[in-house]
């Protein structure tokens, strides 16, 4: 690929939202590198997606230690692309990483100990060729390590200059409130929570997580907005060959695409059509209707998918009739 110079008008169209009570504005669409950036993927396609994202005003790239596959390769490949394309734009970017899931063998390569979190971030920085990340997350709750130890590690990471802000992911509401209290006492900048949330998976609402985040002044960035592709036009007529469900690769299994789900998706798709949106665009807009959702994290395998997701921002408003119809479909 030719040398990269970012588009001069990159900030003209993207919409941004204040992240909790911090000084940070995040783009309402952020790019996740969970899939499609590992060694098994096409490197130049990964690079084209990152370039398109930044050219469109997406300033936030979200990684984790074990993204790939294999583990670590999303960070390694991002590091190569960063060095060649984005180094001159470092101060325009929010780059995040995480640790909490399985990463290396033995008792110190998982969960939430001080040893694991600090070692993991050191490895991540090396793979990406960075001096610091903007946000470092604890990726999931650890039932056995004291929360004080995990939060103390995040505090040390900020004080060492290896991260500017910290976050948590997959924490329920009560544990988030406790983490916030510990971090506040230490004076550690708790910026953001990353939960799974979409039209179908609504645990965030039952748990009143967004209420808790608003109360403690923390923003949110939601992942899996399309429920692993269910909330797209892909499964309108059952399971196509080579789809994620057909291949049963990773997080979407055939048995999740039930006749009831297909019917719901078809009905939701009709509402989206009447809004002049794709179902995927409506699913993204539906999340952003709540201003406590700072940003929606999208994962894409093609530039066109990214552009389509960004276009969701052109129509974020819902009428009360549309919202009622959507609820009645989802309650079935």
Q: What is the pLDDT of residue 45?
A: 98
Whether 147 is in a domain gets the answer yes
Look at residue 191 and tell me if it is in a domain: yes
Residue 27: phi and psi, rounded to 5, are -65, 145
30 within some domain: yes
Provide the residue range defining the domain that includes 77.
16-227+290-314
The 3-state DSSP class for residue 18 equals strand
Query: In CATH, what number is assigned to the domain containing residue 201?
Result: 3.20.20.100
How large is the greatest C-alpha to C-alpha distance in the chain, in angstroms? Answer: 54
pLDDT in tens, 248-275: 666 666 777 788 888 999 999 999 999 9
The C-alpha atoms of residue 262 and residue 192 are separated, in whole angstroms, by 34
Q: Is 248 inside a domain boundary?
A: no
Q: What global pTM score does this model have? A: 0.95
Number of domains the chain is built from? 1
Residue 144 included in any domain: yes
Q: Is 209's pLDDT higher than 80?
A: yes
Q: Residues 79-135: pLDDT tens digits?
A: 999 999 999 999 999 999 999 999 999 999 999 999 999 999 999 999 999 999 999
Q: HSE-up of 2 (CA within 13 Å, CB side)?
A: 2
Report yes or no on 281 lying in a domain: no
């Amino acid at each position: 690929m030719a040398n990269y110079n970012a588009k001069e008008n990159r900030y003209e169209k993207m919409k941004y939202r204040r992240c909790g009570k911090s000084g940070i504005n995040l783009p309402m669409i952020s790019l996740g590198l969970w899939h499609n950036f590992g060694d098994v993927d096409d490197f130049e396609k990964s690079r084209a997606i990152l370039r398109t994202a930044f050219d469109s005003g997406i300033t936030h790239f979200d990684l984790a230690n074990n993204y790939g596959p294999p583990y670590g390769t999303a960070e390694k490949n991002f590091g190569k692309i960063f060095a060649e394309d984005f180094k001159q734009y470092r101060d325009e970017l929010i780059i995040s990483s995480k640790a909490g899931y399985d990463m290396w063998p033995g008792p110190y390569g998982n969960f939430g100990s001080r040893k694991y979190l600090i070692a993991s971030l050191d490895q991540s920085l090396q793979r990406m060729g960075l001096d610091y990340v903007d946000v470092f997350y604890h990726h999931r709750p650890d039932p056995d390590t004291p929360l004080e130890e995990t939060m103390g590690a995040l505090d040390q990471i900020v004080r060492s200059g290896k991260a500017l802000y910290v976050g948590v992911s997959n924490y329920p509401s009560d544990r988030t409130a406790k983490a916030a209290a510990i971090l506040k006492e230490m004076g550690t900048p708790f910026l953001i929570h990353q939960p799974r949330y979409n039209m179908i998976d609504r645990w965030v609402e039952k748990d009143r997580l967004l209420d808790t985040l608003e109360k403690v002044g923390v923003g949110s960035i939601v992942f899996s907005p399309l429920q692993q592709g269910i909330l797209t036009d892909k499964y309108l007529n059952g399971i196509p060959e080579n789809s994620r469900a057909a291949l049963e690769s990773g997080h979407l299994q055939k048995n999740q695409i039930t006749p009831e789900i297909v019917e719901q998706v078809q009905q939701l798709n009709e509402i989206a059509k009447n809004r002049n949106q794709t179902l995927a665009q409506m699913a993204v807009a539906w999340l952003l209707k709540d201003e406590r959702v700072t940003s929606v994290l999208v994962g894409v395998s093609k530039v066109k998918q990214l552009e389509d997701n960004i276009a969701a921002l052109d129509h974020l408003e819902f009428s009360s009739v549309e919202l009622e119809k959507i609820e009645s479909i989802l309650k079935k």
